Structure 1
Amino acid sequence: MRKMLAAFVSRVRSSVVQKPARRVLVASYNYSNDATFDIKKCDRYLLEQGPPVSAVLTRQDGLKYYRMMLVIRRMELKADQLYKQKFIRGFCHLCDGQEACCVGLEAGINPSDHVITSYRAHGVCYTRGISVRSILAELTGRRGGCAKGKGGSMHMYTKNFYGGNGIVGAQGPLGGQIAEAFNMAALWKLPCIFICENNLYGMGTSIERAAASTDYYKRGGFIPGLRVDGMDFLCVREATKFAADYCRSGKGPFLMELQTYRYHGHSMSDPGISYRTREEIKNIRSKSDPIMLLQDKMVNSKLATVEELKEIEAEVRKEIEDAAQFATADSEPPLEEIGHHIFSSEPPFEVRGANPWIKFKSIS
């Protein structure tokens, strides 16, 4: 084998020497540092002015947020696969198609700001700083999950992020009616942004069939609001910055309606095509996909090349596969730890189990 290889190399070398030298073409690409884009004007309520209709995107931010949206998309597709393989049990609500909402929101606020959301929150978990490994491990109920495998899809937490909430609408007032939360926030002029991610369907019912008025950004009554293109990352980012500045100035709460779309059904038991057509979903994917829109902006303005974005996609695929391997191989939490982490700063105490004779110790 060595002789054959040496002979082959020798022949190649001799043929190269005999041929005339060829010119070498070195290609270079001049990237733009930033670019300005027109964005859709937001509908306003009780506001004389709204967010700007143009936005600047730097190359660095573009690559960062493109990657974030791609991670969320791939993570949700992997969660779908793990659920069908029965590694994930119980409830699981996916947010693929809505990536511009959570990424644009995070880009418009500060890490020190507080966020609370309902279910369909895997993307917000990631943008708030939870790793893909911790998210997928939480979905599979493993010890390496962000809630130690005890919360699942609806209940994930990290610093300044108060998890998903399984009770519909309860994340607003944390246990009361949303109208009362609006009232108290306005009465006390709280710096609070209420966000409605309007993906056009409540479970399997279209908004037109469920609401006499679909202008959700006006539902605050006495609270100013914006209706935002929730499929455009830049539009969400600029609207969030505008709302945050409004709240920080002491004017009180703000309401934003992000018009978006979910590709999957409401939950894993919902195929998502009994109340809407495949053509509708395909049409949204081809014209308004948030990742595609940002990709086109970056390539057309020379903030990135197609090849560069493909490399990012390959890196993301590997990250998701590695995280999925961890999430399926990590151990489950032992039964004796079922009462742990109820409180964050309490001395250990006993928790009753399924009957009065079973006791567990709670350790923070």
Structure 2
Amino acid sequence: MSSTVATDQSAAQLTPGRLLEAYRVMRTIREFEERVHEEFATGDIPGFVHLYAGEEASAAAICSHLDDRDAIASTHRGHGHCIAKGVDVVAMMAEIYGKSTGSCRGKGGSMHIADLSKGMLGANGIVGGGPPLICGRALASKFKGDGGVAVAFFGDGASNQGTTLESLNLATVWNLPAIFVAENNGYAEATSASWSVATDDIADRAAAFGMPGVIVDGFDFFAVHEVAGEAVARARAGAGPTLIEVKFTRYFGHFEGDQQLYRGTEVADARRDLDCLLKFRDTVTRSGQLTPEQLAAVDQEVATLIEEAVTAAKAAPAPGEADLTTDVYVSY
């Protein structure tokens, strides 16, 4: 079966409403990241930002299977995961600007956006910091019997961290409803995964921990959606964890300001030939499930939302001195 036929069959299983929502999530992530890229260049955004553009299909497809029972843990490159799990975009932009109206009241910035009410346990500046958190959340769901699933997103660099490997082992030992998503964009900062990862594929490591390992094309929303659906169903059924390796290319540098001297034409090639949004549009319009006009309407709505988010963030107040110790300690 050709990849086009497989993609068309996967798309046919989704209603037009779900397809529109998936496109909206991916378009929102793309527009959010492209705008942050522009705004960061002005010098008004404090701290570092690490952009997710090019990787939208992973977050959108995986989180489309999740609900309020479920939780995710992210990475330093976390904007896409936040948006896909339902974190408010206006509050996210304010957080990136360090404003008091932000998701974490301006204290976290880009690398530490969180919203526990949405099951988003946080972006994380610690490489490999998310997998242990997910084991804890998955264990809680297992004991409560609520059917919840916990998902850890991490990169090819974090795949070599002891925290990640220990979490893979623990998830199998405790038979946890956990899913580990290795988002392999080819580089840990500027270090090629082909040089730093001992196996050809990160998913090959799954066998050592007694769980399925699956490799999927991260430019194909429908391929990721199908693989994620199987992993989520397996976890909810009590059959244990899965390791999914999603392969794609990030469109920007490791961080804003990265000169990217370690890369050639791969970004331009990916944007032209492999882009997940373009492939999604082609699939759903060719099948007649959605029209170009419907997709264009989403594009306009998202553009308006992002403009409103930036305007609100710039106008919002910065945290005051009295905010210094709020939301820091829990009172029991």
Using the size of structure 1 for normalisation, the TM-score is: 0.78
Whole-Å separation in 2 of the counterparts to 1:188 and 1:86: 47
Establish whether residue 38 from structure 1 lines up as the match of residue 5 from structure 2.
yes
**Does residue 193 in structure 1 map to residue 179 in structure 2?**
yes
Aligned match for 2:238, one of 233, 250, 268? 250
Q: CA deviation at 1:269?
A: 2.3
- Provide the rounded CA distance (Å) in 1 between the counterparts of 2:269 and 2:37: 22
Count of equivalent residues: 297
Answer whether contact 1:170 1:176 (CA < 8 A) is retained: no
The whole-number CA distance in structure 2 between the counterparts of 1:106 and 1:97 is: 16
Partner of 2:300: 314
CA distance in 2, matches of 1:280, 1:251: 38
Tell me, what secondary structure is at the counterpart of 2:51? coil
Which blocks of at least 5 consecutive residues in structure 1 are unaligned? 1-36, 41-51, 348-364
Q: Which contiguous aligned blocks of 4+ residues in structure 1 show a shift greater than 3 angstroms?
A: 37-40, 52-55
What SS does the aligned partner of 1:138 have?
helix
Q: Give 2:150's aligned residue.
A: none
Task: Check whether the contact 2:131–2:164 (CA below 8 A) recurs between aligned residues.
Answer: yes
Q: Which of the residues 49, 65, 73 maps onto 1:92? A: 49
Residue 275 (1) aligns with residue 262 (2): yes
Secondary structure of 2:243's aligned partner: strand
Corresponding position of 2:156: none
Q: CA deviation at 1:203?
A: 0.8
**Aligned match of 1:120:** 77
Q: What fraction of aligned residue pairs are identical, expressed as a percent?
A: 34
Instruction: Provide the rounded CA distance (Å) in 2 between the counterparts of 1:305 and 1:180.
Output: 47
Report the Cα distance in structure 1 between the residues aligned to 2:82 and 2:283, rounded to whole angstroms. 26
Matched with 1:108 is 65
Cross-structure match for 1:22: none
Matches within 5 A, 1:1-364: 38-39=5-6, 56-158=13-115, 159=117, 160-174=119-133, 177-220=163-206, 221=208, 222-272=210-260, 274-277=261-264, 279-344=265-330, 346=331
User: Quick one: distance in 2 between partners of 1:201 and 1:59?
Assistant: 36
Q: CA deviation at 1:337?
A: 1.0
SS of corresponding position for 2:288 = coil
Which position in structure 2 is the counterpart of 1:31? none
Between Structure 1 and Structure 2, the one with more helix by share is 2
Tell me, in whole angstroms, the C-alpha distance in 2 between the residues paired with 1:310 and 1:248: 36
1:14 alignment partner in structure 2: none
Is contact 1:105-1:236 (8 Å) kept? yes
Q: Is the 8 A contact 2:11 2:283 kept in 1?
A: no
Aligned-pair CA distance for 1:54:
7.3
State whether residues 99 and 123 of structure 1, in contact with CA within 8 Å, keep that contact through their aligned partners in structure 2. Answer: yes
Aligned mates of 2:164, 2:24 — CA distance in 1: 34
Q: Which runs of 5+ in 2 are unaligned?
A: 134-160
TM-score scaled by length of structure 2 = 0.85
| SS in structure 2 at match of 1:193 | strand
The letter of the residue matching 1:187 is V
Distance in 1 between the 2:14 and 2:169 partners? Answer: 37
Larger radius of gyration: 1
RMSD between superposed Cα atoms in Å: 1.8
Deviations 1:296-343 (A, max 9, x none): 111111122223322321221111111100011100010221111024
Q: In 2, Cα distance between the equivalents of 1:225 and 1:83?
A: 37
Give 3-state SS (helix, strand or coil) of 1:115's partner: strand
Task: Determine helix, strand or coil for the equivalent of 1:172.
Answer: helix
The aligned amino acid for 1:293 is K
CA distance in structure 1 between the aligned counterparts of 2:235 and 2:199, rounded to whole angstroms: 26
In 2, Cα distance between equivalents of 1:214 and 1:167? 25
Cα deviation 1:14-37 (Å, max 9, x = unaligned): xxxxxxxxxxxxxxxxxxxxxxx7
Indicate how the Cα distance of structure 1 residues 87 and 96 shifts in structure 2: closer, same or farther if over 3 A, else same: same
Letter of the aligned partner of 2:126 in structure 1?
I
Question: Amino acid of the residue matched to residue 256 of structure 1?
Answer: I
Letter in 2 for 1:178: T
